[in-house]
Structure 1
């Protein structure tokens, strides 16, 4: 992940450049020497390396590691499609990695589930940002700063309305805090012997206006 946005109705809007693969898989925005970390979708079945729990009709359960359609556990290999099995639950997902070279494009993504319009990966000689064709140097899949910013701008447009409301909310909070601080300062000044004329002068109003504004609050 990388770009922090507003929180709306307890939903964070954090954006990142999502690597895309030819089979529809998407990257999580994390890369390493192992390649690109893949985002697991809710409807994905068990993947190699996952720890799973098998439940059988007789009430028995067994746990193990999913590998090539079978479950390897303490009792050896258990077929993942055993006739008595009624449920297979993934209880711990294994990280899935793919080589950078398999990335075919990128798209702006947000933790709310939104995705922008894809950008296609091309060789450097065919790069044309205006046509949504981007290239990277070498075998890696990380975009150059200028291209990442192009993708980021689409995410900014996605959150623009929420961000504007968040800015209004923060400004209103600051204004309310400043108003409370001013009220307290006026009370302290009066207690120290200042007149309403003095208060009006330093707050940019007449003494009468200052009296009308603050005397009723004391």
Structure 2
């Protein structure tokens, strides 16, 4: 999809250039000869073509294709969704749009963050990165390498706090692994007959500290 960023806890921060359409819809990160795959927004309701399940108050359910506010079952019967009916999208239909309809870009992150808008202009002589105007000619939507770096610079600033936290997590893991290795080495030394004063000198602590830390295991 794009650039791999830090993973802190269970949250990944992968970044990519997000195409933007005039109605505010955004690309999902996939492009092909079909155009640009449009991302689903969290507050989107069913789209035409989605497979939807309706659950009525009496527990009965109906499944079918969503079309203009109603569900069309496999038997062709139209089921309306008025009243107390719970609807659930069980299979999302893909929406593709022509790349020529892209009006700009933003930097995006898998955590949900979005950067500031960059406007698409139709000719290189109209481009002005200082004014956040970038040119892509023809039907394609991919930015030139330098322009992509300009857009993604904001994402790099966005991930800086998480990048430092990931560094802390990795350092903590290394420290824990080193502590386990030290414990194993001390127990092996004790099993081989090393004294507590000798272990203290080898580990840079006093004999008493070495005894308190490792005597239970060795």
Aligned-CA RMSD value: 3.0
Shift of 1:100: 0.6
Q: Report the count of equivalent residues.
A: 212
Q: Which runs of 5+ in 2 are unaligned?
A: none
2:210 to 196, 201, 214: 214
Q: SS at 1:4's partner residue?
A: coil
Partner of 2:92: 93
Taking structure 2 as the reference length, the TM-score comes to: 0.80
* Matches of 1:55 and 1:182, distance apart in 2: 60
Matched, 1:116 2:115: yes
Shift of 1:186: 4.5
Shift of 1:10: 2.9
Q: Which runs of 5+ in 1 are unaligned?
A: none
Q: SS at 2:136's partner residue?
A: coil
Matched, 1:34 2:34: yes
- 2:18–2:27 Cα contact (<8 Å) kept: yes
Shift of 1:57: 6.2
Shift of 1:12: 2.7
Give per-residue Cα distances to partners, 1:114-169, cap 9 Å, x unaligned: 11111111122222222211123532112222222222221121121122122112
Per the alignment, do residues 54 and 213 of structure 1 end up closer, same or farther by CA in structure 2, a change over 3 Å counting?
Answer: closer
Taking structure 1 as the reference length, the TM-score comes to: 0.80
Shift of 1:33: 1.2
Partner of 2:46: 46
